[in-house]
Structure formats: structure tokens, C-alpha cells
Amino acid sequence: MKLTSHTISLAIISAVAYIITSCSANTQSNYSSTDTIVPADSIVISDEPEFLPDTVFPSVEKLKYDITIFDSLTSGILSDTKDLYAEAPGIFTFRGGPLRNTPFCGHIDSVPTGIDIEWAFETSYDTVKTSFGQWGGGTGWTGQPLYVEWNDSMMQKFKQENDSLTENFGSKEIIVSSLCGKLYFINYETGKASRKPIDVRNPIKGTGMIDPDLNGNYYIGQGIPRKRPIGAMVVDLFKHEVTHFFPEDPNAWRNWSAYDASPLVVGGFLFRIGENGTVYKYSREKGTITLHSTLRYSKKDDSAGGMESSMAVYKNYGYTTDNHGNILCINLNNLEPVWHYDNHDDTDATPVLELEDGIPYLYSGCEMDRQGYMGISYLVKLNALTGERIWEQKIECKKMTLGNKHFDGGMYSTMLLGTGNCSDLLFTNICTNDPPSAGQFCAISKSTGEIVYSKKLIHYAWSSPVAITNDNGEMFVLTFDCVGHAYIIDGKTGEFLVTKLIGINFESSPIIIDNQVVIGSRGTNIYKLSIR
């Protein structure tokens, strides 16, 4: 059944003529998702209210959707919109937090001059050949490691309740989900196994999430069905076992039950999005999660798209992208769509949010999957309250054919927002495949979308860049490509300061802590690197 909208008072100026306060999935509209529905400065939020309004813009009329409530006794209203990840003792989700822009920023005294390998941890290697290929080990896209610093009471709890700890268990721990179908725990300082691995049966491609309430829950989704069933799961880090498993959803609008997206906890609820075209909302109590409601959607003239990117969140608005080019803003209180934007093509990169003068803006970019051999990667900046397009940048790309496989062009990496002397820029990697395997590292103006500079990489890159700043406020960018190179680039000028071959294939995104970087490679290795 449809969830009834919950109305919350909010001052809305100059928008009444365009705002629809209720929605039917069957109405027709002449508006396109790129129409300027409401000017960017026409919504004024007074006194920073807890919740954004139950607004529905005309762009939603291009969708068909269904909201189903499974737990009518539990209110779906978020308890609050506090960012639980801001105070978490580590990096608990993909790109750090709900805006997906938590400063992935390390620090160095001056100008970086080199990269050294501190340790390399080796995973198992899965040799099973399936109809989806042989997946090996290490990590793939997005494959970001998670990092946690356990306090003394948590350390004691683990030692009392967990018999999987090794002699190398320490307070600083890396958790990595591997393509070999295992979950690994690594001592951050030494690179040795801190616990026995957990067998999760199927390859993991995406990034997990540590519950920021530190209740022991770790959320992850399987990426490839080496064996059935395939689905999402919860791992209890105290019991060291899988406690919840969610197999294929028979009501999903898309028949592909992989989960690459990194979940989020907001206002007492867990939000998980799937490649089956479904947004799942779970209530949480004492480590147990219960399905509260679901949203399934598609454009009226299209089938449902799968969501491989992770949801970004600002207050009670969630932002998803999918492999049919839809960018959707969702009211997390009731799962009603707020606005819809059509960005043309498959969008796997996670959207990024940033506040400017109190207004949240969303950055996103697509691949060229549905366009044929040649096409465009569309990079956009949208007003996150209304869906209004601020700018659009078009980058020409090609597909690359290798044997019986093809590799799409476009943007796979999540954008990095500039800081320090680069606060007016954002950075990303683009797979141009022109010539084959070519890639570009791009610096883009936040205000205009203009490409300030574009630098050729040795090979295209899927990995998301991270930042390093020094005492002078100068920003440097660390990024990795798909044949194993690491690059340190001067963010302001685009000058390559360091280029070093380290791994086999860095599809995964790194984390950075001070001048230390942890990243997984295809093959078997997880690396800790130091920047000097």
C-alpha cells in the first residue's frame, strides 16, 4: 500500500505554483526532468529545521513506482537527521559518510615526493569458473576498505565473546570484503590477520558498512552468484558469523539480486539499495533489523534499473542513481520520490553532496553503456532540493573491445571535492578509451562545470581519488589506475609528482589516514602505502 505523506511545517517561498503536495504513479506530465521547476534560490529554509518538506516536484510524474509498508506498527519517520558517521572512530562506509564527501584527506608536511609499500596482505584466490567469469581474490570495484579504532571496552568485549581473534588482534583494524568470497580482518599497524576470515560464499565487489552505533553489525552484499542463493547479509562482529541473510526478492522489478552499494544508517533506520531496483528501509533494535518498507520505481517508458552506486543523504532526503540513468531524490521519512532527473545512461559512480550558502548541491556523472560504440559521459551539478540542473559537462568516450568482452567508457570513480587551494575544483577519472584503454584525470570547476585541465593517465581508472594537503593548504590528489599504477598529482596545476607501478589492477577505492593509504588490488593483495 502507499505510505501517507507526513506534513512538516517549513517556509517555502516563490514555489507554490510548481509544488505538488501529493502524487499518483499514474498521472501524466508534460514536464521533462531537465525543466527548471523551481529557481535555485526560491526555497528558503529558515532556522535549519530538522526535516526537509514533503514536497513532490512535477519531474516525478515521469515515474511509475510502488511503496510497500511491511511494518505498519512502526512509524517510518526518522528519529533525527544526525550524521552518525561524523563522530565514528574510523571510516565506516563508502566515502566516509552520508554526503559521500567526508574529507578523504590525508596530511603531509610539504610536497609529496614518493610512495612506499608498508605491508601487503594476501587474500585467497578463487579459481572456480562460472558463467560470470573467474573472480580470483583481492578486491574489485568499489572494494573500499573500512577502518575502525576499537576502544578499550570494545576490545575487552571482543576478547570475551570472540574465539576467532588471532595474536595480532589490535585496536586499529581494517575490514576488507574480497572477490574470493571472504571477509578479512587486518591489523592496521602490522598487516597481519587480526581474526580468522569469514566465508560469505560469493564474491563481494562493493563496500560494506560498520553500524555507527557500534552494535557489532557489519552490512555487506554479495556481488556475483558463484553459488545460489545470492543476496545481502548482516555479519555480527562479536559472534563472528552471518546472522541475517536476505536472498532474492520475488517482488523486485529487476531480476538481479546483487548488492554493490554501501548501506547507510539514518535516524534509526538502515537504508540499503539493490541492483534489483529496490530501496529497502529497515528498522533496527539491539542489533536486529526488520524490513519496514520498500520503494520500487522506473521511468514509465522503461524497465527498472539496478543501483550499484551508494545512496547519498542530506537530512531526510536520499539520492540514488541507477544503470538506466535515473537520478532520484527520495524522502526517507516515507520513501516518496521528491524529484527525478534523467542523466541519460548507466550511473555507477556514487553521487556526492556539498553545501554552498546553505543549499545542498549534488554532483554526478554517467558511463556510456546504452549509447553504442561511441557516446557521451554526462557530468552534472544539480540543486539537491529541487533537481534543477546548474551545469552539464559532456565528455566524449568510446567502448573498448577485448576478446569477447567490451568495456564501457565514462565515469566509474566517485568525484573528489577540492579543499585548500583547490576548494573551487572537483576531481574525477574518466575512461575515454580513445585510444583503447586510455583514461583522463580531470579537474573541473565547481561553479561552471568547465574542465580546468585534463591529464592523460597510463591506463583508464575506476578507482576514486583521495586528497592530501600540506601545512601550506596545498592540495595533492592520489589516484590509482586499472593496471596497478599509483599517481600523486598537484591538484592546482595537474603536474604529476609521483607515478609508481605497485599492484596488478586497482579498481577499488582507497582510504587515507594521515599519510597512510590502504587499498585493495585485483589478484590477492591488500596494500598499506605511505606517502613521503
Whether 2 maps to a domain, the answer reads no
> What number of other Cβ atoms are within 10 A of residue 22's Cβ?
10
pLDDT at 285 over 90: no
Whether 21 maps to a domain, the answer reads yes
20: exposed, middle or buried (Cβ count in 10 Å: 0-12, 13-18, 19+)? middle
Domain that holds residue 443: 16-531
- pLDDT band at 4; cut points 50, 70, 90: very low
How much is the CA Rg of the chain, to the nearest whole Å?
22
Whether 517 maps to a domain, the answer reads yes
pLDDT at 404 over 90: no
pLDDT at 11 over 60: no
Q: What is the mean pLDDT of residues 337-357?
A: 98
Sequence-distant (≥ 6) Cβ neighbours of residue 342 within 8 angstroms: 32, 33, 34, 62, 299, 325, 326, 327
DSSP, collapsed to helix, strand or coil, labels residue 497 as strand
- pLDDT band at 402; cut points 50, 70, 90: confident
Could you tell me which residue, 105 or 373, shows the higher pLDDT?
373
Q: What is the mean pLDDT of residues 241-255?
A: 96
| pLDDT at residue 133, as a whole number | 85
Q: What phi-psi label fits residue 136: left (phi over 0), alpha (psi between -120 and 50 degrees) or beta?
A: left
| pLDDT at residue 25, as a whole number | 35
Q: Which of 113, 127, 38 is nearest to 497 (CA)?
A: 113
Q: What is the mean pLDDT of residues 99-106?
A: 84
Could you tell me which residue, 3 or 476, shows the higher pLDDT?
476
| pLDDT at residue 22, as a whole number | 34
Sequence-distant (≥ 6) Cβ neighbours of residue 173 within 8 angstroms: 147, 148, 149, 150, 185, 186, 187, 188, 194
Number of separate domains in the chain: 1
Whether 35 maps to a domain, the answer reads yes
- pLDDT band at 2; cut points 50, 70, 90: very low
| 161 phi, psi to nearest 5 deg | -110, -10
Whether 243 maps to a domain, the answer reads yes
Render pLDDT for 156-208 as a digit per residue (tens, 0 to 9): 999 999 999 999 999 999 999 999 999 999 999 999 999 999 999 999 999 99
- Average of per-residue pLDDT values in the chain: 91
Determine the distance from the C-alpha atom of residue 227 to the mean position of all C-alpha atoms in its chain, rounded to a whole number.
26
Whether 177 maps to a domain, the answer reads yes
pLDDT at 287 over 90: no
Determine contact, residues 362/391, Cβ cutoff 8 Å. no
Task: Output the domain CATH number for residue 300.
Answer: 2.140.10.10
Spell out where 247-388 has E strands.
264-266, 269-273, 278-285, 288-299, 312-314, 317-321, 326-331, 336-342, 352-356, 359-365, 367-368, 374-383
| pLDDT at residue 29, as a whole number | 33
Sequence-distant (≥ 6) Cβ neighbours of residue 454 within 8 angstroms: 430, 440, 441, 442, 443, 494
Q: In whole angstroms, what is the distance from residue 320 CA to residue 279 CA? A: 9
Could you tell me which residue, 257 or 1, shows the higher pLDDT?
257
pLDDT at 44 over 60: no
Whether 526 maps to a domain, the answer reads yes
Sequence-distant (≥ 6) Cβ neighbours of residue 455 within 8 angstroms: 440, 441, 442, 489, 494, 496
Q: Can you tell me which residue has the cell 529557481?
A: 39
Q: In whole angstroms, what is the distance from residue 347 CA to residue 367 CA? A: 6
From 105-114, 117-126, 346-355, 459-468, the region with the lowest mean pLDDT = 105-114
Q: In whole angstroms, what is the distance from residue 507 CA to residue 484 CA? A: 9
pLDDT at 270 over 80: yes
Q: In whole angstroms, what is the distance from residue 90 CA to residue 87 CA? A: 8
Q: What is the mean pLDDT of residues 480-495?
A: 98
Q: In whole angstroms, what is the distance from residue 203 CA to residue 193 CA? A: 20
| 280 phi, psi to nearest 5 deg | -105, 135
pLDDT at 1 over 60: no
| pLDDT at residue 103, as a whole number | 64
| pLDDT at residue 47, as a whole number | 59
- pLDDT band at 40; cut points 50, 70, 90: very low
| pLDDT at residue 24, as a whole number | 34
Identify the helix (H) or strand (E) that includes residue 501. strand 496-501
Q: Quote the percentage of the chain above a pLDDT of 90.
A: 86
Specify the amino acid at residue 366.
Answer: C
Q: Which of 173, 233, 175 is nearest to 202 (CA)?
A: 233
Q: What is the mean pLDDT of residues 26-40?
A: 36
From 25-39, 111-125, 269-283, 419-433, the region with the lowest mean pLDDT = 25-39
Q: What is the mean pLDDT of residues 426-441?
A: 97
DSSP, collapsed to helix, strand or coil, labels residue 157 as helix
| pLDDT at residue 367, as a whole number | 97
Beta bridge partners of 297: 65
Q: In whole angstroms, what is the distance from residue 512 CA to residue 105 CA? A: 7
pLDDT at 13 over 80: no
Whether 451 maps to a domain, the answer reads yes
